[in-house]
Chains A and B, each alone.
Chain A
Amino acid sequence: MTEALDMNGYLARVHDALEGVPAGERDEAVAELEANLLADIVRRGGNDAAEMAAIADLGEPEEYAAQVRETIGDAAVLPQPQGHIFGMPYEFRSPTASRVMERMWNPSDPRIMMPRSWGVGWTINFGAIAVRLGLVRPDDVEERPFENLSDAALRAAMTVPIVLGLAAAALAAAFWTRLPGQVPVHFNGAGAADDWASKPFVIGLLVGVALVLPLLSFAWRTLRGASRGTIAVTSTMLSLFSLLATVILGYTIANAVFGVEGWWILLLILGSLLLPATMFYLLARASLQKEWSAAPGAATTRRDL
């Protein structure tokens, strides 16, 4: 090393040398290094000499950055789309909870529009929105947010889609006899029905999405011993599906039985996004708070995961 760098100087050089790496990855790599370096410096005595020695062991900042680049080089690590079609990202690898999470709840990535975790187009990174609203910090994601959720919080999250599904089933049962044999299956921009299909098919499909899908999904996740993070993300996504199915079912019934129609249904559907957004936020916060409160009592809170 030609000149002695202090820790901040070293971190800045590593950060510079990581130019081109996605911002979230870059910040995270530097934050990781800072945490490890700080602990090392304190352990070595915490003085200037300790700082210099710890930094000398790391090698040149550019070399360190090259190591980081190498380790984050593989595709699974970066929330990048699998490819582009007509300028739109696509992704047809089977979705995993961690991929859904890094796209839909990724405070460390400033992009609000992320490549979808499955399909063509974009999805919303609620984590980036929460950062902009000042609700969480970009580095809050670092500690795998949903993994510290309490059983009660997870149960509450799983209850949401089930309750919505039960509401949909109750609604369908209550109005079954009053619905005609053919019910609306598609609406135009003004909210008027423009396509119809058989009642058992339409109602069955909507109740299936609202109630049966979450039940089957939770049963499957439980059998496979899914992680807390997976269950939290699954609950959130299923809540969105259940709410959408319930809203559409309600509108279908209102339209077919009472002749209600209006463009405002679009607002209701868009508004449904608030539910998963709120759930993501509450779950991430609950998990982080749990982690922070657990931090000081190292020996007593150590658990075998």
Chain B
Amino acid sequence: MGDPDSRTSQFRKGAVELAILALLASGELYGAEIVDRLAVLPGLAVTSGTVYPLLGRLKKAALVDSVWRESPVGPPRKYYRLAVAGKRDLAEMAASWRDLSSAIDLLLQGVDTRD
């Protein structure tokens, strides 16, 4: 309850879902590629251990589809892409994310975090 780390990881998870949808909006990617693209953003702090289960969830929720594609090296890879519902969801989530984050930013401006 009082552990800030676990609370941060709770809202980070929702953000990572949105981040995955946003990434897939520009084209299909396979799992490790998604991890790579997100891992370069330090604020998200993701690993494959958080991304793969979320991909499974997004797929179950029919927000993303997956397809097998031949790979130039090794066996076929599973690629993920936005489903129709995912596009819709992304638009809605992006709008509410912007509203939410500007509201929280505004509130946090008055908070002294140094003490």
Chain A residues packing against B (C-beta within 8 Å)? 28-29, 32-33, 35-40, 42-43, 46, 54, 57-59, 63-64, 67-68, 70-72, 76-77, 98, 142-144, 147, 227, 291-292, 294-296, 298, 302, 305
State how many angstroms separate the Cβ of B49 from the closest Cβ of chain A: 4
Is chain B's binding surface mostly helix, strand, loop or mixed? mixed
State how many angstroms separate the Cβ of B97 from the closest Cβ of chain A: 20
Chain B residues packing against A (C-beta within 8 Å)? 13, 28, 30-32, 35, 47-50, 52-57, 59-62, 65-71, 73-79, 81, 83-84
Chain B residues with Cβ below 8 Å from A76 are: 61
Does the CB pair B65–A32 fall under 8 Å?
no
Partner of B56, one of A37, A58, A71, A143: A71
Partner of B70, one of A33, A40, A227, A296: A296
State how many angstroms separate the Cβ of B103 from the closest Cβ of chain A: 26
Does the CB pair B65–A67 fall under 8 Å?
no
Cα A142 to Cα B47 with chains together (Å)? 24
Cα A70 to Cα B54 with chains together (Å)? 9
Residue in B closest to A54 when the chains form the complex, CB atoms = B48
Chain A residues with Cβ below 8 Å from B35 are: 40, 57
Given A71-B54, A77-B60, A36 contacting B49 (CB threshold 8 A):
no
Does the CB pair A72–B57 fall under 8 Å?
yes
Residue in A closest to B80 when the chains form the complex, CB atoms = A36
Chain B residues with Cβ below 8 Å from A147 are: 65
Does the CB pair B78–A36 fall under 8 Å?
yes
Does the CB pair B32–A40 fall under 8 Å?
yes
Partner of B65, one of A57, A144, A292: A144
